[in-house]
């Protein structure tokens, strides 16, 4: 089913289980081209639980499209291709939603993992091989690799435009579309009292530290 060794041929993979798998024995020494989509709903679930998001969010508005070539060189498996997707991002400065068309080339080298305990090629890897990782078993889970690549290619600080002016810290208007008469650096005098306040949780934790020291 997957034994296609013709670079001009495009084949849409069936989704096996959660993702697209390629049998290692079917990876030949001449390139095979495939195209498939990763479901937007599944990826959006991942996106909404992505750890380490700082202020911004993304949502796919269509599937993640994958164009992939693969082949082997001895035991090493070579992959390259392009990811493309239409997304909606939330600007980290002004919080407005903006469209983002993502298109990223990628390439991976998968080396056979050495048997446990045996000295493997891991030790030979030099700086240039850092993009390489390892495979073991009969199949390569391409979806896993694609998803990882997709998450990595999303900018960590999404902006609707480089020059986004963000929101006014005082009145909250979107400074891209409106002006306001707040003066920069001004703080409401009523907030000054709050700044001197010590939170009970802070006190509790510092008491704990004091106890630990005595
Ligand atoms: Zn913005
Ligand atoms: Zn303002």
- What pLDDT was estimated at residue 54? 47
The Cα–Cα gap between 87 and 43 comes to 11
C-alpha 210 – ligand 1 centre gap (Å): 45
In this predicted structure, what is the pLDDT of residue 167? 94
Question: Which ligand has its closest atom nearest to the C-alpha of 93?
Answer: 1
Whose atoms come closest to the Cα of 165: which ligand?
1
Rounded to the nearest angstrom, the distance between the alpha carbon of 167 and the centre of ligand 2 is 8
Of the pLDDT bands very low, low, confident and very high (cuts 50, 70, 90), residue 122 is: low
- Cα of 178 vs centre of ligand 1, distance in Å, is 13
Ligand nearest, relative to CA of residue 182: 2
If pLDDT is split at 50, 70 and 90, which confidence band does 12 have? very low
Going from N- to C-terminal start, the domains of the chain cover 10-153
Neighbours of 209 (CB within 10 A): 9
Q: What is the mean pLDDT of the chain?
A: 78
């Amino acid at each position: 089913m997957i034994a296609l060794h013709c670079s001009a041929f495009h084949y849409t993979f069936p989704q096996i289980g959660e993702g697209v798998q390629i049998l290692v024995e079917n990876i030949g020494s001449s390139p095979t081209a495939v195209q498939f989509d990763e479901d937007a709903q599944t990826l959006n679930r991942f996106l909404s639980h992505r750890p380490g998001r700082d202020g911004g969010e993304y949502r796919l508005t269509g599937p993640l499209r994958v164009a992939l070539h693969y082949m082997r060189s001895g035991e090493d498996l070579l992959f390259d291709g392009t990811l493309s997707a239409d997304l909606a991002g939330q600007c980290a400065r002004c919080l407005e939603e903006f469209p983002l068309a993502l298109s990223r080339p990628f390439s991976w080298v998968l080396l056979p993992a050495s048997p446990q305990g045996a000295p493997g090629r891991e030790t030979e890897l030099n700086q240039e091989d850092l993009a390489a990782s390892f495979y073991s078993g009969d199949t390569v889970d391409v979806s896993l690799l694609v998803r990882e690549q997709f998450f990595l290619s999303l900018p960590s600080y999404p902006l609707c435009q480089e020059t986004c002016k963000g929101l006014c810290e005082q009145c909250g208007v979107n400074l891209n579309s409106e002006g306001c008469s707040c003066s920069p650096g001004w703080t409401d005098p009523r907030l000054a009292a709050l700044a001197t306040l010590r939170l009970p949780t802070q006190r509790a934790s510092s008491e704990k530290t004091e106890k630990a020291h005595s």
